[in-house]
Amino acid sequence: MQNFVYEYPTQVFFGKDAAKTHLPDVLANFGPHVLLAYGGGSIKKNGVYEEILEILQAAGKTVTEFTGIMSNPTYAKVQEGAALARSCKADLVLAVGGGSVIDCCKIVAAQAVTDVDLWDLEMNQHKAPVQTPIALGAIVTAAGTGAEMNGGAVITNAEVKIKAGMFAAAPRFAVLDPMYTMTLPASQVISGAFDTLSHAMETYFGRSDQDNVSDAVAEAIMRNTIDNLRIVLHDLQNYTARSNLMWDSAMAENGILKVGRLTDFEAHQIEHQLGAYTDCNHGQGLAVIHPAYYRCIFKSALPKFARFARNVWGIAGQDMTEEQLAQAGIQALADFIAECGLPTRLGQLHSKVEITPALLRQVADSCNTLPNGYKQLTHDEIYGILSACL
């Protein structure tokens, strides 16, 4: 195992009525001014907004709203939120939404307390913010990213066309009520769950020389995500399945699977840049990229891909070579993506621009190539992977 330090900053309240039950007590820990942040308005349609506002008012909080946080949140939106947080002297930033709202608020909470340009600090100077951010809470309305249980935020800087991970405020508390996710459209439930599966795979396929209990936990999360995603394909509102998917989502990105091991996350790097250029849905972009990426790298990790086929997809493979078994596992993943109705080609993504070879060249050339997967890609290989998805 790699050496590790594990520390957990987020208090989690899970289950039906978790906000009503726990938020009043939690809010007592923070000052009177709350910046209530949300996206394009889904919480106003499904009653979550009224419920949270009532709890905040009953707790005597002064509420300022920060609205319209878009999917794939931009750095410009972060600056808007930071200015609001400063002007209302927010004691707590309360993010109510999916990964996009939570991520935006993580950087808002850190940017509001400093004049330093955090993008420049993190991306160009490779330094972390030093000031203590405003306290952040997350009320999850869309599962998949696990953003509520980590300190990373994925932000798009539209000026330089880079979508990248930044590090700032981890939520001090997170409310996970599966009922709050029930109004999600099926396509978002599915793409969110695929994002969860991707996080577990990206961690599992990080370079690791030794067996590690984290790999066995990752296999359990992958199997559980697949099983429950299969249930919601036919029974979207199944509470047990939606609860499992919600906790799978948190488990895949709360650091537990990463304990004692290196991680890959190259498919995420490629998807993030694809998102920077096309504004595509994150989980859908990953669904297109993953099989092609794994077909490019699997020969560098045959035993791990064979184990994936056996332990995640249940392929016994007695009559197969290790290479055949590894390929069968990747095919099972590709078949599952099709079974879920997720996009399998780039042309099926709801891109804001036409996806041409020239655009893919720009996407490929702007991707980070990470060192801790089984094979470090070149930009030409990334272009090859993307071209195979056309």
CA distances from 255 to 105, 146, 374, 386 (A): 20, 10, 20, 29
CA 325 to chain centroid, in Å, comes to 29
Q: According to the binding rule CB under 6 A, does residue 263 interact with ligand NZQ?
A: no
**Do residues 276 and 161 lie in contact, with contact meaning Cβ atoms separated by under 8 Å?**
yes
Could you give the CA distance from residue 89 to residue 139 in angstroms, rounded to a whole number?
Answer: 21
Question: Shortest approach of ligand NZQ to residue 98 CB, angstroms?
Answer: 2
Checking DSSP bridges between strand 11-14 and strand 173-176, what pairing results, if any?
Answer: parallel
Say which amino acid occupies 342: L
Could you give the CA distance from residue 359 to residue 293 in angstroms, rounded to a whole number?
Answer: 18
Question: Shortest approach of Zn ion to residue 61 CB, angstroms?
Answer: 32
Question: Shortest approach of ligand NZQ to residue 75 CB, angstroms?
Answer: 12
Residues 90-109 that bind ligand NZQ (CB under 6 A): 97-101, 103
Residues 272-291 that bind ligand NZQ (CB under 6 A): 282-283
Question: Shortest approach of Zn ion to residue 287 CB, angstroms?
Answer: 11
Backbone φ and ψ of 33, nearest 5°:
-100, 120
Residues 130-189 that bind ligand NZQ (CB under 6 A): 141-142, 144-147, 150, 152-154, 180-181, 183-184, 188
How many residues touch ligand NZQ under the rule CB under 6 A: the total is 35
**In the block, which residue shows the tokens 């930033």?**
93
3-class secondary-structure state, position 381: helix
| Angle between helix 213-234 and helix 322-339 axes, rounded to 10 deg | 40
**Do residues 244 and 197 lie in contact, with contact meaning Cβ atoms separated by under 8 Å?**
no
Question: Shortest approach of ligand NZQ to residue 343 CB, angstroms?
Answer: 15
Q: According to the binding rule CB under 6 A, does residue 81 interact with ligand NZQ?
A: no
Residue from 122, 195, 219, 264 in contact with Zn ion (CB under 5 A): 195
Q: According to the binding rule CB under 6 A, does residue 64 interact with ligand NZQ?
A: no
Q: According to the binding rule CB under 6 A, does residue 343 interact with ligand NZQ?
A: no
Q: According to the binding rule CB under 6 A, does residue 32 interact with ligand NZQ?
A: no
The nearer residue to Zn ion, 51 or 195, going by C-beta atoms, is: 195
Which residue ranges make up the site for ligand NZQ (CB under 6 A)?
Answer: 39-43, 46, 71-72, 97-101, 103, 141-142, 144-147, 150, 152-154, 180-181, 183-184, 188, 192, 195, 253, 268, 282-283
